[in-house]
């Protein structure tokens, strides 16, 4: 039994060390130019200047963020976005109010504050940018959204 446990421990150690190395070598970006280096924006990412929001392309699309979010702090104790977008601050800031849908639980119960599942804004909302597509596509906006 002791020998089996030792062998299992050695095998697991090998897997923990070697598997991530092998995976990193085979992962490529969609552009195919370099290996993926994690979730952090690369040094080539260009933060856009503030501008008017871009139109939505499909019915349930979360609005894009029309300003930089560089350095915005969002933790479980603090959300920088709510400094301007909370309902009690929008009159002073001129920012768009957080949608009423963000105050409901998954079961539909209305809350007095932002729902925990909607609290981390950049899970759905991303800064807009004029980036070239990673791959070609033939997407067309929803007919009801075309002006």
The answer to whether 54 and 45 are in contact (CB under 8 A) is no
pLDDT of residue 12: 73
At 77-136, the pLDDT tens digits run 999 999 999 999 999 998 889 999 999 999 999 999 999 999 999 999 988 877 777 888
Residue 127 β-bridge partners: 65
At residue 22, does pLDDT exceed 60? no
- The verdict on pTM exceeding 0.75 is no
At 32-58, the pLDDT tens digits run 665 555 545 555 556 667 888 888 888
At residue 139, does pLDDT exceed 80? yes
The answer to whether 128 and 48 are in contact (CB under 8 A) is yes
Binding-site annotation, residues for heme c: 67, 81, 84-85, 102, 121, 124-125
How much is the average pLDDT of 56-66? Answer: 87
Binding-site annotation, residues: 67, 81, 84-85, 102, 121, 124-125
pLDDT of residue 54: 81
At residue 17, does pLDDT exceed 90? no
Domains of the chain by range and CATH? 57-129 (1.10.1130.10)
């Amino acid at each position: 039994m002791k020998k089996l446990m030792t062998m299992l421990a050695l095998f697991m150690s090998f897997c923990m060390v070697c598997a991530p190395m092998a995976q990193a070598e085979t992962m490529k970006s969609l552009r195919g130019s370099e290996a993926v280096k994690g979730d952090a924006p690369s040094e080539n990412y260009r933060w856009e200047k503030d501008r008017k929001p871009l139109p939505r392309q499909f019915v349930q699309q979360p609005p894009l963020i029309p300003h930089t979010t560089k350095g915005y702090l969002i933790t479980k104790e603090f959300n920088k976005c709510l400094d301007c977008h909370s309902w009690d601050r929008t009159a002073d800031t001129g920012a768009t109010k957080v949608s009423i849908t963000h105050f409901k639980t998954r079961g539909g119960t209305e809350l007095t504050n932002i729902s925990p599942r909607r609290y981390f804004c950049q899970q759905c909302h991303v800064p807009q940018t004029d980036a070239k597509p990673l791959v070609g596509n033939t997407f067309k906006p929803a007919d009801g959204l075309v002006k």
